[in-house]
């Protein structure tokens, strides 16, 4: 038995202010880029110093609204800026590989919004290019860097669950069908799995590693993208992950890890700052932790940026907490689920 049955460990590196300050450039400044920039400026010493868009007007408006020094009317101009240390790619999925490769070719470190790419083949292009160039590249799976996730990581490392048996996670939202929306447009890699499902598949990967088999069922939107999906991922040890995602109804966004010796349950939503409950094998609650740091919702994106800054300053080229190979594996699982569902979509240099 470990201490996890009586109390939960403290998260490590909970304060993003402790991270070395880097200068960031943002490509494709939209809503998520706005939240990312505001989170960095509010909660850390990281600074977004440049915004780049295909529209100078849009980049200028973003810069003015979010305290960014410079605006560029092309992506090439931003990645050529010598005062930018790291580039954050905040575009739709189908541009992730193109823009990441552009930044890497310019010698910039890169943080790519989740999913890392529209499919596993694209993601491998990013990983290969970053390794060849010797620059740091990371998927912006911000959940991996939250304080609560580090608590679960320590429980896993300590063997607090015993042999893992079942992992669960759900993330569904309600989005009325609109064929012009990026969520439903095959040309923009629309669908639930790449937008929301990447969180639940990543949670399963975090706990269990890569699956030995994938079983998917669900339904398609009229445009042919996956609108709802349920996945069973099985490992060689017999453990399973039961996952669901969709665009037809909002779901609780809860996640669990269950073993013979105990289980952990998240509060809602599991993918941003919330809380954790640890239960013994007999079902009795042994410990409860609630996030005390007051970085709610997307303000929690500051943790991934702080982690990247620490890794870069340590001379790393890959995240030890969420390596590129794992992000590629998550996309391989999603590729297979989409194939089984018969979903359609366009990737960088390939058609699914």
Please list the active-site residues.
114
Strand 350-351 vs strand 346-347: parallel, antiparallel, or unpaired?
Answer: antiparallel
Q: Tell me if the bond preceding 115 is cis, omega within 30° of 0.
A: yes
The Cα 225–Cα 209 span in angstroms is: 26
Q: Contact 109/85 with Cβ under 8 angstroms?
A: yes
Radius of gyration of the chain (CA): 20
Distance, in Å, from the CA atom of 22 to the CA atom of 321, rounded to the nearest integer, reads 20
């Amino acid at each position: 038995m470990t201490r996890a049955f009586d109390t939960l460990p403290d998260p490590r590196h909970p304060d993003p202010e402790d991270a070395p300050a880097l200068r960031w450039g943002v490509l494709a400044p939209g809503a998520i880029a706005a939240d990312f920039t505001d989170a960095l400026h509010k909660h850390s010493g990281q600074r977004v110093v440049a915004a780049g868009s295909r529209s100078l007007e849009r980049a200028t408006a973003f810069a003015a609204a979010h305290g960014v020094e410079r605006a560029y009317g092309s992506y090439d101009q931003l990645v050529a800026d010598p005062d930018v240390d790291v580039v954050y790619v905040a575009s739709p999925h189908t541009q992730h590989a193109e823009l990441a490769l552009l930044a890497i070719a310019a010698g910039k470190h890169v943080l790519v919004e989740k999913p890392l790419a529209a499919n596993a083949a694209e993601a491998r292009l990013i990983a290969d290019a970053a390794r060849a160039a010797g620059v740091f590249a990371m998927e912006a799976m911000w959940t991996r860097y939250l304080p609560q996730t580090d608590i679960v990581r320590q429980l896993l490392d300590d063997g607090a669950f015993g042999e893992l048996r079942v992992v669960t996670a759900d993330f569904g939202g309600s989005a009325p069908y609109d064929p012009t929306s990026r969520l439903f447009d095959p040309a923009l890699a629309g669908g639930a799995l790449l937008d929301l499902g990447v969180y639940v598949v990543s949670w399963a990967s975090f706990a269990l590693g890569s699956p030995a088999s994938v079983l998917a069922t669900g339904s398609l939107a009229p445009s042919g993208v996956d609108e709802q999906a349920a996945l069973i991922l099985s490992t060689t040890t017999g453990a399973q992950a039961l996952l669901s995602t969709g665009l037809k109804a909002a779901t609780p966004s809860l996640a669990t890890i269950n073993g013979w010796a105990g289980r952990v349950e998240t509060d809602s939503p599991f993918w941003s700052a919330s809380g954790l409950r640890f239960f013994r094998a007999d079902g009795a609650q042994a410990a409860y932790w609630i996030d005390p740091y007051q970085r709610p919702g997307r303000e929690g994106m500051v943790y991934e940026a702080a982690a990247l800054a620490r890794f870069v300053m340590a001379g790393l080229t890959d995240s030890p907490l969420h390596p590129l190979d794992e992000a590629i594996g998550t996309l391989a699982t999603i590729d297979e689920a989409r194939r089984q569902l018969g979903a359609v979509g366009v990737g960088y240099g390939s058609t699914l």
